[in-house]
Amino acid sequence: MSATRIDGKAFAAGLRERVGVLAEEFSAKAGRKAGLAVVLVGDDPASQVYVGSKGKATVAANMASFEHKLAGDTSQADLLALIDRLNGDDSVDGILVQLPLPDHLDEQAVVDRIVPNKDVDGLTPVSTGRLALGLNGMVPCTPLGSLMLLKDQLGSLEGLNAVVIGRSILVGKPMAQLLLDANATVTIAHSRTKDLPEIVRRADIVVAAVGRPEMVKRDWLKEGATVIDVGINRLAPAEGETKGRLVGDVDFGEASEVAGAITPVPGGVGPMTIAVLLRNTIVAAHHNAGIDLAEGAI
């Protein structure tokens, strides 16, 4: 069989368009634009690209973008002071600190400083606690985007066996919780899981988020399984190439021969992350302004 290619780029474009409409309606009601503040510390090239992309996407979605680019030697006290100012700024509805931070900074302390109603990355203890309790709150962007793709592809996830490979707080753990909330039966696997291929082989849904290039092979998968590949890895350049190609945690070519549906890398989960960030920002804006957002509007 040849797997259906799950087009995250197209889904994300539709989501961004819906956010843009809601953002325009919000501006008319609130008398201001919804605002997203992104904080970048240091000059990491990849992080600079990500921050630039988020800023452009925010403006394109009819929202205000506030970029704060700080020197790499910024102190913990100065960074926390900026977070405090953004927490108290009524024009800012969402705060995102670009990770990773330089080694001398305490990432968790910085994330903890963000007030929960502006935690559009869904990483504060309050946000993670509400997710674990099954309560409404901010959800990390990549897992929520992955769940959206799964529901679009499969409809109800109830009763399906799901394996999440990876247990990070950014993807693995929140992904597992979202799948549980959707009434799937969930196994979290990781680098120390015994007989990992056999466990994955039982799954109707496989979410790979472990950061190992093309680790998941054809014979790991159940026929017809739906595969969400969160990984993004750059291989070493082949002879004559200036840079290596991007691949996921799943061997796309092999997996496509047995899976029912699969996300490509690039073009699968990646575009969903920024789209969901925008979605979280407009949700936060409505909450912060005391404006109701119709259930199912986004």
Active site (catalytic) residues: 54, 98, 121
Residues 6+ apart with CB under 8 A from 5: 256, 261, 262, 263, 264
Amino acid at site 198: E
Enumerate the H helices of the chain as residue ranges.
Answer: 8-30, 45-60, 76-87, 107-113, 125-132, 141-154, 172-181, 196-200, 252-255, 270-289
- Residue 208 structure tokens: 């790979």
Task: Report d(CA 79, CA 84) in Å as an integer.
Answer: 9
168 marked as part of a ligand binding site: yes
DSSP assignment string, 160-186: -EEEEE---TTTHHHHHHHHHHTT-EE
167 marked as part of a ligand binding site: yes
Binding-site residues for NADP(+) sit at: 166-168, 232
Binding-site residues sit at: 166-168, 232
